[in-house]
Amino acid sequence: MDPWIAENAAELAHRIPREIEALVGVSSPSGDVAGAEECIAVCALLLPEGVEIERIPCSSAGHAQDIVARISGTGSKRILLLGHVDTVVAHDQHRPLAREGEQLVGSGSVDMKGGVVIALGALRALASRPELYAEIALLLVNDEEWRTQPFSHVERFAGFDACLCFEAGELRDDNEAVVVRRKAAGTIHVEAHGRSSHSGSAPDRGRNALLALAAAAQAVAAAHDPQGDAHLTAVPTILRSGDAFNVVPGKGELFCDLRADELDAIEAVLDRIPADHEGVRLDAELIRRWPGMHSEGETAPVLARAGELLGRPVVAASRGGASDASHYASTIPVTIDGLGPRGGKAHNPEEFVLEASLLPRAEVALAVILAALEG
């Protein structure tokens, strides 16, 4: 293994558990300004000396500003490191980090505060080798988990040589893997406009929004075809309707999560939702459009070189979950994701990072960065 990687990865792995504990200790559900600001403050303390910090508007209104941290060097390459500090976990369900056997269990630990900590450590390590790069930028956003607005930071980093994102890592056939292919993602939102009435004395005078939304949910679910050509998954996830047990619900809304190889397969599902169901108007729209990521060819030489630097393979993997890396893949061909620690149960109360993965994943991150800088 390259000696610089071995030395710095060992230092990172020693520090990472306490740094994850500090960051996971902050409850930061997406959209919570105070939680985001506290996370940014923790991250700022873990940045190298002399770093240039800029706060930039978040893509989503009402959120805390995002942060860009930059270090400059004397080389020629520019690399973007990417992560997010928001979680899906509400304050009353937040779990601070706790060690349970080999697992570091806590809210947002693997999605993706553990990866953010590795990215911060990599930036500190690179600060001592300015000859390797012209610029290393770290972008941390506060709205990745529930963004419905267009991602606003793509043009800011146009022309960079690589984008490296620190979502969770994984193993493939006992080899450390990174993600070079992701599905497109979309969120369908349906609003139902019916008519309320007394459910006991005049049930048939109403127009039941709940039943109409249930029909829309079934129409979306019928498109689910993960083994098909588009590998489409179509999952109704939230249905809200009704205000009282004895009133025909006159309005409501439905959310559905969809993933496919390309966005056009997701957009086609909208045509399956009727405009009207038994007198209830259904207004359906795709409120979130995340592109797919297809970086297999462009990243293959980088992964091969990273394996040489490590003395063991770094293999390419695909993943169905969405990531901000997908927004950059069309403008930065060398886009690689999954550079964070290994773990599991993301978006779950038992979310965890495997402590044993911290050293090998730090080694992988540093090797991929060096390989990308070599070009």
pLDDT at 146: 86
Based on the domain organization, do 228 and 160 belong to the same domain? no
Q: Do the strands 247-248 and 197-198 form a parallel or antiparallel pair, or are they unpaired?
A: antiparallel
pLDDT at 321: 78
At 141 the three-state DSSP class reads strand
Q: Which of 118, 123, 155, 121 is nearest to 137 (CA)?
A: 123
- Fill in the DSSP letter of residue 232: B
Based on the domain organization, do 52 and 139 belong to the same domain? yes
Percent pLDDT > 70 in the chain is: 100
Based on the domain organization, do 255 and 362 belong to the same domain? no
Based on the domain organization, do 175 and 231 belong to the same domain? no
pLDDT at 148: 86
Residue ranges, the chain, pLDDT below 50 = none
Q: Which of 354, 22, 47, 3 is nearest to 171 (CA)?
A: 354
Based on the domain organization, do 364 and 261 belong to the same domain? no
Q: Which of 1, 20, 24 is nearest to 12 (CA)?
A: 20
Which of 234, 262, 290 represents a domain boundary (last residue)? Answer: 290
The model carries a pTM of 0.89
Q: Taking the CA of residue 159 as centre, how many other CA atoms within 13 Å lie in the half-sphere pointing to its CB?
A: 4
Based on the domain organization, do 53 and 151 belong to the same domain? yes
Q: Do the strands 78-84 and 162-165 form a parallel or antiparallel pair, or are they unpaired?
A: parallel
CATH number at residue 161: 3.40.630.10
CATH number at residue 259: 3.30.70.360
Query: By the 8 A CB rule, do 370 and 2 touch?
Result: yes
pLDDT at 272: 96
pLDDT at 291: 92
Based on the domain organization, do 177 and 113 belong to the same domain? yes
Query: By the 8 A CB rule, do 256 and 220 touch?
Result: yes
Based on the domain organization, do 123 and 199 belong to the same domain? no
Task: Give the range of the structural domain holding residue 56, as residue numbers without chain letter.
Answer: 3-183+292-374
Which of 290, 321, 343 represents a domain boundary (last residue)? Answer: 290
Based on the domain organization, do 179 and 270 belong to the same domain? no
pLDDT at 59: 97
Query: By the 8 A CB rule, do 62 and 31 touch?
Result: yes
